[in-house]
Structure 1
Amino acid sequence: MAQIIPFQAVRPTRDKVSLVTSRSYDEYSPAELAAQLEFNPLSFLHVLNPAYTNQQKTAFEKRFRLVHQKYAEFKQEGILVQDEKPAVYIHKIVSKTHTFTGIIVGTSIADYKSDVIKRHEDTLQYRVELFKDYLKFSGFNTEPVLMTYPDNDKLSDWLDRKTKTLADFEFSTTRKDVHYLWKIDDENDIALLQKTFSDIGNIYIADGHHRSASAEMLYDEQPSAENHNYFMSFLIADSNVKIYEYNRLIKDLNGLSKSEFLKKLSEYFLIEIKSQQLFHPNRKHEFGMYLDGEFYALTLMTEKCGFESPLDRLDAQILYNKVLSPILGIADLRNDERIEYLPGKLPVTEIMKKVDDGEFELGFILFPSAIDEIKAIADAHQIMPPKSTYIEPKFRSGLVVYEL
């Protein structure tokens, strides 16, 4: 029984929303970030990076308090305004290739603790603690946890009706995505949603494992504080989420010659040379590889693999178990400097270029994981390897703020 609640969001005013909202802070190059901060005084990036004006480096706690101070200034200046009534919010994103529609709500820490909210990724303790401190001292969160729910006809029909009405916000970004936001504060609508999600049961974290773990840690530290027993989430249907792979780039062959490496690969894979033909896997258990100026198709010989769990069947785990660890000697996927990752949104030619330039020795191209695979791993209480999925949609900072 998944619990959801409405909340009194803080949002930009309608006339300023396109100038206020920003991509996630980490997505900007230094030049892009400097340009935004220099020429757009309304950008939410000023809240996230309040030390920019003085170019000062500060300790984390002081910096987070400065974030809170700048956020308060945005509210005092009327750039951000809090809604009068608790509401849920429908958010629709239309890109060149996809349309995403989901619901922004408060989700329950109790559900997170009791495994009603399922997770599939491990977290790093220092990142969890750091973001917990950010939440504590800044007093707000504007990055909802992305969660999926099983496709539901009742919810789909409700969303379809509501999104045919005039949106509270409609704006475009420089990447030519169009964003819409509807505030839903009608008590009957909210009750309908709460009943529907209660009947749905489990919901699954798609992106935001560190954020949800930080919210739990903050609750454990201050359980009586207002709004700490819920955290902001963006709920979207299983079929509406877009999952890309993360591809792997490897620095060297671990002391092996090319022929020795290919011979070891042939123990578990059928190898087909594609030469200069750009290759991307077309199905599960098929891998692309770029080595020494040539593409290869690697097909797993599944009859040689004893799959005992959902994790064993995951392509990213297979690549680790059969190639990265035993052949290339990469045991720590998070910290080994010999491996790097590229999101599957980028063209295969990016892998080709990095290998041809000598920056890496070879690259592996994976087939994207399916949502059912991710949910099966979460249901089995297993953990996916780092950088297994790059999931969309991505949320814009400053669009909806959940105060703590």
Structure 2
Amino acid sequence: MAKIIPIKAVRPAEDKVALVTCRNYDDYSQAELAAWLNFNPYSFLHVIHPAYIHSQKISWDKRFKGVAHKYHDFKNDGIFVEEEKPVFYLYEIQSKTESYTGILAGTSVDEYNENKIKKHEDTLQYRVDLFKEYLQQTQFNTEPVLITYPDSVEMNTWITLKKKSKPLYSFSTTTKQKHTLWKIDTESEMDWLEEHFATIPNLYIADGHHRSASAALLHKENKTPNKENLNYFLSFLISESTVKIYEFNRVIRDLNQFDTTSFMEALTSIFNVVCKHQELWKPTEKGEFGMYIDGKFYALFLRKKPNSSEILENLDAQILYNQVLNPLLGIGDLRNDERIDYISGKQPITTIKELVDEGEFAVGFMLYPIDISEIKTIADADLIMPPKSTYIEPKFRSGLVVYEL
């Protein structure tokens, strides 16, 4: 069963919600960040990036204490309000091309530890430890773990009906997205949601592996048995058919011991190589790869599929690593090798062309995105995908719903 609980959340005052909420801190350029902080006193960026001018000169401990202090200032100033009782939320994100709707709830740390909430991505321990310290110092989280559940006609019908009711918030952002939040606070609705999810044997983490691992570590180290909120972590639950999965493309700084001619010759033993000249070509199915080098695009078609029944060995990201990145280009550690960088598939492939043309990188590779069934198969087999295999949407806005610990 999948256990979800309503949360006694803190959220922006209705008249300030569009001013308070923000994208993930890392999404902002330095100029953009400075502009928001200078001209919008209500932005949640003031909370997650306190004393921003001096932030690079202070320790993590002092920075986290500053986050906690600024958060309480926002509450004391009435920028945030607290729900009177635990509730669920229905949340919709709409852009010109995409629409995502899901449930905001608490999910069980115990079920995460028991692998009923399944994972497909590895974590870096230092990042888990650092975010655990953040949670411990600030005592709140506003970045939910993105979790998928199986599609259900019953759930879809309920969501459609709920959307006809008056929302708690409805606002637009400068990224031309519309955000709508409904409160689910009647006993009958909350009971129905809990009972519906109780029939689901497993949930799957789509994005947020470090956040869930940090919550589990904090729960393990907790010495205060009465802190019930530590038994759950904030989650955004969305049907698996609506989650959007992009690939992560690869750019490499040099060709190792090769020049362009000898590198192309080495590739022809692995792929059928077709020159596409200036056509912005991307793979159209699994087993195809795009490449940009020396001012031209190429289509790469595997001559021979991997002789393995292992699902990991058949992932395009792993094939590229096994056949090209490691043996030819000498890339060993995909996480830490400074010769490789990653470009999300949401960005146009002209980004890769520009990076190579400018000389910062020698070659770029484009992959075909995996689908949710592959992620579930890997998670069910307790396997871990190669680093940077997926870029997943939707992305949640910071400061919209705060879960206090």
d(CA) in 2 for partners of 1:192, 1:309: 40
DSSP 3-state at the match of 2:337:
coil
1:261 counterpart letter in structure 2 = F
DSSP 3-state at the match of 2:206:
strand
Q: Which residue of 1 is the match for residue 241 of structure 2? A: 239
2:152 counterpart letter in structure 1 = N
Question: Retained in 1: the 8 A contact 2:120–2:205?
Answer: yes
Deviations 1:137-186 (A, max 9, x none): 10100000001111111111111110121110000000110000011011
- What is the aligned counterpart of 1:254 among 253, 256, 263? 256
d(CA) in 2 for partners of 1:301, 1:154: 45
Post-superposition offset of 1:241: 0.5
Q: Which residue of 2 is the match for residue 275 of structure 1? A: 277
d(CA) in 2 for partners of 1:63, 1:351: 35
Question: Retained in 2: the 8 A contact 1:310–1:380?
Answer: no
2:376 counterpart letter in structure 1 = K
DSSP 3-state at the match of 1:297:
strand
1:197 counterpart letter in structure 2 = F
Deviations 1:200-259 (A, max 9, x none): 111111110000000000000106233101000000011111111111001111111223
Root-mean-square deviation (CA), in Å?
1.2
d(CA) in 1 for partners of 2:303, 2:385: 22
d(CA) in 2 for partners of 1:252, 1:29: 27
Superposed, 1:377-396 pairs within 5 Å as 377-396=378-397
Q: Which residue of 1 is the match for residue 313 of structure 2? A: 312
Deviations 1:312-342 (A, max 9, x none): 1211111111111111110111111111111
d(CA) in 1 for partners of 2:129, 2:43: 27
Q: Which residue of 2 is the match for residue 218 of structure 1? A: 218
Q: Which residue of 2 is the match for residue 288 of structure 1? A: 290
Q: Which residue of 2 is the match for residue 301 of structure 1? A: 303
d(CA) in 1 for partners of 2:52, 2:326: 43
| TM-score, length basis structure 1 | 0.97
d(CA) in 2 for partners of 1:327, 1:49: 42
DSSP 3-state at the match of 1:91:
strand
Q: Mean Cα displacement is larger for which, 383-392 or 250-259? A: 250-259
1:180 counterpart letter in structure 2 = T
Question: Retained in 2: the 8 A contact 1:20–1:42?
Answer: yes
d(CA) in 2 for partners of 1:188, 1:53: 49
Q: Which residue of 1 is the match for residue 12 of structure 2? A: 12
Q: Which residue of 1 is the match for residue 341 of structure 2? A: 340
Question: Retained in 2: the 8 A contact 1:280–1:288?
Answer: yes
Where does the alignment leave 5 or more consecutive residues of structure 2 unmatched? none
Post-superposition offset of 1:275: 1.1
Q: Which residue of 2 is the match for residue 92 of structure 1? A: 92
DSSP 3-state at the match of 1:228:
helix
2:239 counterpart letter in structure 1 = A
| TM-score, length basis structure 2 | 0.97
Distance 1:363 1:54, change over 3 A: closer
DSSP 3-state at the match of 1:239:
coil
DSSP 3-state at the match of 2:188:
helix
Question: Retained in 2: the 8 A contact 1:37–1:46?
Answer: yes
Q: Mean Cα displacement is larger for which, 213-222 or 186-195? A: 186-195
DSSP 3-state at the match of 2:58:
coil
Question: Retained in 1: the 8 A contact 2:49–2:55?
Answer: no
Where does the alignment leave 5 or more consecutive residues of structure 1 unmatched? none
Question: Retained in 1: the 8 A contact 2:55–2:63?
Answer: no
Distance 1:295 1:199, change over 3 A: same
Question: Retained in 1: the 8 A contact 2:131–2:214?
Answer: yes
DSSP 3-state at the match of 2:236:
strand
Question: Retained in 2: the 8 A contact 1:109–1:216?
Answer: yes
2:33 counterpart letter in structure 1 = L
d(CA) in 1 for partners of 2:27, 2:256: 32
Q: Which residue of 1 is the match for residue 108 of structure 2? A: 108
d(CA) in 2 for partners of 1:207, 1:362: 28
Q: Which residue of 1 is the match for residue 325 of structure 2? A: 324
DSSP 3-state at the match of 2:229:
coil
Q: Mean Cα displacement is larger for which, 390-399 or 344-353? A: 344-353
d(CA) in 2 for partners of 1:287, 1:156: 36
1:370 counterpart letter in structure 2 = D
Question: Retained in 2: the 8 A contact 1:51–1:57?
Answer: no
d(CA) in 1 for partners of 2:55, 2:4: 41
DSSP 3-state at the match of 1:11:
strand
d(CA) in 2 for partners of 1:78, 1:368: 44
Q: Mean Cα displacement is larger for which, 253-262 or 197-206? A: 253-262
Q: Which residue of 2 is the match for residue 354 of structure 1? A: 355
Q: Which residue of 1 is the match for residue 197 of structure 2? A: 197
d(CA) in 2 for partners of 1:201, 1:163: 27
d(CA) in 1 for partners of 2:217, 2:54: 32
Post-superposition offset of 1:61: 1.7
DSSP 3-state at the match of 2:214:
helix
d(CA) in 1 for partners of 2:59, 2:402: 24
d(CA) in 1 for partners of 2:338, 2:55: 31
Question: Retained in 1: the 8 A contact 2:90–2:184?
Answer: yes
Post-superposition offset of 1:348: 0.9
Q: Which residue of 2 is the match for residue 42 of structure 1? A: 42
Q: Which residue of 2 is the match for residue 265 of structure 1? A: 267
1:128 equivalenced with 2:131 (yes/no): no
Q: Mean Cα displacement is larger for which, 252-261 or 379-388? A: 252-261
Post-superposition offset of 1:63: 1.6
Question: Retained in 1: the 8 A contact 2:145–2:234?
Answer: yes
Post-superposition offset of 1:56: 7.6
DSSP 3-state at the match of 2:210:
helix
d(CA) in 1 for partners of 2:304, 2:107: 40
d(CA) in 2 for partners of 1:361, 1:283: 25
